[in-house]
Structure 1
Amino acid sequence: MMSKIPQRSKSSQGLAYVKVGTGPSLVLIHGVGLRLEAWLNQLSELAQHFTVYAVDMPGHGGSELFPECHDISDYTDVIAGWIQNDIATPAVIVGHSMGSMIALNLAIRYPNECAGVVALNSVFRRSEEAKKAVLSRVAQIKQSITADNVTAPVKRWFDFPLRGEDIQNAQLCSEWLSKASLDGYRQAYEVFCFNDGPADEDLTSLTVPALFATGRGDPNSTAKMSEAMAELCPQGSVYIVEDARHMAPMTHADELNPIIIKFGQQCFDPKEEVSHDHA
């Protein structure tokens, strides 16, 4: 784990980000209510192979709120504009949870800016029961957004009772969520809940390599969802992390980081032979 996050830079658009490492560009996009510190367990290792840009989503961390962000494509346009202006080279886009929805939308709509995409713990075609649950949470947040219902997702993200490093991981997530901008959280969470994943035709026409990974125990971003998306993509692959839930990038970094590194290297050098188990 990187003990300290470098000082954030600010784009002309108002996005806050950090830049570490050297090599081809790789972008990290976190999920709803979190901040770029959610990639603490990735930054040091990925920076040994890539120039890593970890960004605060609009309305999160040090990034300004973008009132015009009403759906995934709006968030994508903001991130894509930042990549075009501040990175100016194609990047592997790695997203977690809502960040994975943005990453996939970017790969679909901005292929010139994307060398490959990694979707971690992503959602695709929720069950009717899951749809009812997220719509109920949206209604609750619209009615009254409080620190308690902002931090409630932590109970779904980790196995309870907490043990070992998960105690600290859950505490960090609770801290980030409790300090999140309520307006930024409300705006992003509604977008997240009303998005059910990319259209099938967009996945079947995706022109860049795509890796889908999730935790076997994630009840909302299930293994079947990742497997279904990978199956649709011409260059799709899938990796399922056993004994992991929604925060797999944080809890199982030692397992996922080498997978992300090998995938990224293959995106920039197709001669690299890398396979991903359909675990």
Structure 2
Amino acid sequence: MTLTTLQLSNSGRSVAFREAGEGQPVFMIHGVGMQSAAWGPQFDTLSQHCRIIAVDLPGHGGSDRLSSGSQLPDFVGWMHDVVDALNLAPVAIIGHSMGALIAAGFAAEHPDITSRVAMLNGVFCRDASARAAVIQRAAEISAGRVDLETPLSRWFGDSPGDLAARAQVASWLGSVDQRGYAIAYSAFARGDATYASKMNRISCPFLALTGDGDSNSTPAMSQAMAAAVQNGRAVVIQGHRHMVNLTAPDEVTAHLVEWLGQPAEERIAQ
């Protein structure tokens, strides 16, 4: 799918997105340093079930960055502007990592226009040590000291599938706008608990999915998020880490198709 660019009337900023399929709108948001193409393994199958709108985060791909100092609520406000401009409400949301934080924030602030939420490798209420480490990394990125090898080693193993995905992710990380990356990473580092007290507002079908080897977006976090909402389910993919939609694409896509078909009133047993 090719990129389309839209200028937002509220801010004047441009946002780039990829679109395919028909039916209920599903807004897909990638993680920090990635771009909308990261949803490639899911495009073909999901577009048979719904209308996909996969966006580039601010400061990533073809989307204009937000202002320096922007935090998670600013990214949630940006998403609301895009949803409004494209007339998507009510909208389903799939987010990965930073995208998952935005998805949860949007659903908590706008439950009336959110039809369902899927959080892949989402973070939730880090402990003090983890929070200090990620805030320190955000400071280093803001200062221009970008270490790509450490996160890549943490996100991927040595299987052929992991190594192929790692090469693609390294390419995206290496080409991202550094200021946009720093702004988004700072919001990611500080946003893990921003909407924690409002999660109980979310009553639509909710999926929290991660890999059992993800040391930062842990299975315990996914389980806690699923328990915090009214209609939640947690899924842990065995043998995978942080980029689970790339390293276990078929399994992740199957769970997303099931989530898309879940009636709003149905609560899937844990």
In the superposition, the TM-score normalised over structure 2's length comes to 0.92
1:8 aligns with 2:6: no
- CA–CA distance in structure 2, aligned partners of residues 242 and 134 of structure 1: 25
Match of 1:26 in 2: 26
Deviates more, 1:130-139 or 1:113-122: 130-139
- Contact 1:104 1:198 (C-alpha < 8 Å) held by counterparts: no
Deviation at 1:127, TM superposition (A): 2.0
Change (3 A) 1:270 1:130: closer
- CA–CA distance in structure 2, aligned partners of residues 69 and 259 of structure 1: 36
Match of 1:177 in 2: 173
1:39 aligns with 2:35: no
Match of 1:111 in 2: 111
Match of 1:3 in 2: none
1:94 aligns with 2:94: yes
Deviates more, 1:126-135 or 1:228-237: 126-135
- CA–CA distance in structure 2, aligned partners of residues 34 and 64 of structure 1: 14
Deviations 1:161-212 (A, max 9, x none): x221211100000000000000100101111111223544311222322111
Match of 1:262 in 2: 258
Change (3 A) 1:224 1:73: same
1:186 aligns with 2:179: no
Matched residue pairs, number? 265
Q: Could you tell me which runs of 5 or more consecutive residues in structure 2 were left unpaired when the two chains were aligned.
A: 9-13
- CA–CA distance in structure 2, aligned partners of residues 16 and 186 of structure 1: 19
Deviation at 1:124, TM superposition (A): 1.0
- Contact 1:19 1:52 (C-alpha < 8 Å) held by counterparts: yes
Deviates more, 1:235-244 or 1:69-78: 69-78
Match of 1:128 in 2: 128
Deviation at 1:265, TM superposition (A): 2.1
- Opposite residue 84 of structure 1, the aligned amino acid is D
- Contact 2:75 2:102 (C-alpha < 8 Å) held by counterparts: yes
- CA–CA distance in structure 2, aligned partners of residues 200 and 96 of structure 1: 17
Deviation at 1:275, TM superposition (A): 3.1
Deviates more, 1:92-101 or 1:208-217: 208-217
- Percent of paired sites with the same residue: 31
Match of 2:11 in 1: none
- CA–CA distance in structure 1, aligned partners of residues 228 and 43 of structure 2: 30
- CA–CA distance in structure 1, aligned partners of residues 190 and 244 of structure 2: 23
Cα RMSD, aligned residues only: 1.7
Q: Could you tell me which runs of 5 or more consecutive residues in structure 1 were left unpaired when the two chains were aligned.
A: 1-5
- Opposite residue 138 of structure 1, the aligned amino acid is A
Change (3 A) 1:85 1:143: closer
Deviation at 1:151, TM superposition (A): 5.4
Deviation at 1:239, TM superposition (A): 0.8
- Contact 1:122 1:226 (C-alpha < 8 Å) held by counterparts: yes
- CA–CA distance in structure 2, aligned partners of residues 65 and 90 of structure 1: 26
Match of 2:77, SS state, is helix
- CA–CA distance in structure 1, aligned partners of residues 85 and 191 of structure 2: 27
Match of 2:221 in 1: 225
- CA–CA distance in structure 2, aligned partners of residues 69 and 135 of structure 1: 13
Q: Which runs of structure 1 show a deviation greater than 4 angstroms over 4 or more consecutive aligned residues?
A: none
1:275 aligns with 2:259: no
- CA–CA distance in structure 2, aligned partners of residues 256 and 52 of structure 1: 16
- Contact 2:66 2:183 (C-alpha < 8 Å) held by counterparts: no
- CA–CA distance in structure 1, aligned partners of residues 7 and 241 of structure 2: 36
1:237 aligns with 2:233: yes
- CA–CA distance in structure 2, aligned partners of residues 92 and 64 of structure 1: 23
- CA–CA distance in structure 2, aligned partners of residues 200 and 194 of structure 1: 12
- Contact 2:68 2:183 (C-alpha < 8 Å) held by counterparts: no
Match of 1:207, SS state, is coil
- Opposite residue 179 of structure 1, the aligned amino acid is S
Deviation at 1:219, TM superposition (A): 0.2
Match of 2:192 in 1: 196
